[in-house]
Amino acid sequence: MSAAAAVQSLAGGLIVSCQAPVDSPLHDPMVIAAMAQAAVHRGAIGVRIDTPAHIEAVRQRVRVPIIGLWKRQIPGYEVYITPQFEDAKAVAVAGAEIIAIDATLRDHPQGTTVAQLIDRIHNELGKAVMADVDTLEAALQAAEAGADLVGTTLYGYTSTTQHCQPPGFDLLSQMVDRLSIPVICEGGIASPQMAQAALQRGAFAIVVGTAITGVDALVQSYQSAIHDSVIDRSGTDSSA
């Protein structure tokens, strides 16, 4: 599937982000691949996968487009979603048709700009680029730099937006109004009704992660709520 065809095939659909914390038993290529296959069997038209090893395993199990990324923590830099071209190349080789990158206004390693990174991914790898952003300004710059898709992925997860609560529906609406490229709503979509609301606001497609595949985070949330309920009833912390 060509990069352009991969992008267009996502229109109006559900993309499931299949990821797990590195300290989780679920952080295993075969487990992630099974999650992705289950999602596709139930109607997902794409998956979003982190790390080359996981992408490669998923590629063997599904034929839908993969939005691939590689979360890398580089000392001295806040960007972590596919921050360097070498990371993007590994993601492409593993089998992703679309490469997600951090396209916020924060500095990238080696002084690379978002425009330079997008250009190299297009020209040297032949892949489409999804620009993960946190603000309208970043979205506009990413579109001008040639991004094929732009997503609200980092809204609420940067110092600029740390006091904002995903999903970024207002940001989504602004991006839809101002951009001519597809806008993906990602982050904080916790119910089918919220997914519908995003589509009604003009989202090209929806990415859902934790609400579908986030076993670790969901169990922790339930356990925390149950613990708080026990304290409220008893007036004391029974675990102390």
The per-residue pLDDT for 237 is 52
Q: What is the pTM of this model?
A: 0.93
Residue 9 to residue 16: CA distance in whole angstroms: 14
Mean pLDDT of the chain: 94
User: What mean pLDDT comes out for the span 180-191?
Assistant: 97
What is the CATH number that goes with domain 3-214?
3.20.20.70
If phi > 0 it is left, if psi is from -120 to 50 it is alpha, else beta; for residue 160 that is alpha
Looking at residue 238, its pLDDT comes to 47
Lookup result for tokens 């109006």: 12
> pLDDT band at residue 240, thresholds of 50, 70 and 90?
very low
| CB contact at 8 A, 66 and 53 | no
How much is the average pLDDT of 136-164? 97
pLDDT above 70 for 236: no
Average pLDDT over every residue of 58-63: 97
In this structure, the number of other CB atoms found within 10 A of the CB of residue 65 comes to 23
Within 10 Å of residue 135's Cβ, how many Cβ atoms?
A: 21
List C-alpha distances in Å: 173 to 29, 91, 122.
36, 30, 27
Residue 223: what residue type? Answer: Q
| Per-residue confidence (pLDDT) for residue 232, from 0 to 100 | 66
Predicted confidence at residue 239, as pLDDT, reads: 47
pLDDT tens for 89-145 read 999 999 999 999 999 999 999 999 999 999 999 999 999 999 999 999 999 999 999
Q: State the pLDDT at residue 233.
A: 67
Per-residue pLDDT reduced to its tens digit, 29-55? 999 999 999 999 999 999 999 999 999
Whether residue 168 is predicted with pLDDT greater than 90 in this model: the reply is: yes
**Kind of pairing, strands 46-50 and 14-17?**
parallel
Where are the domains positioned within the chain? 3-214
For 87, the enclosing helix (H) or strand (E) is helix 85-94
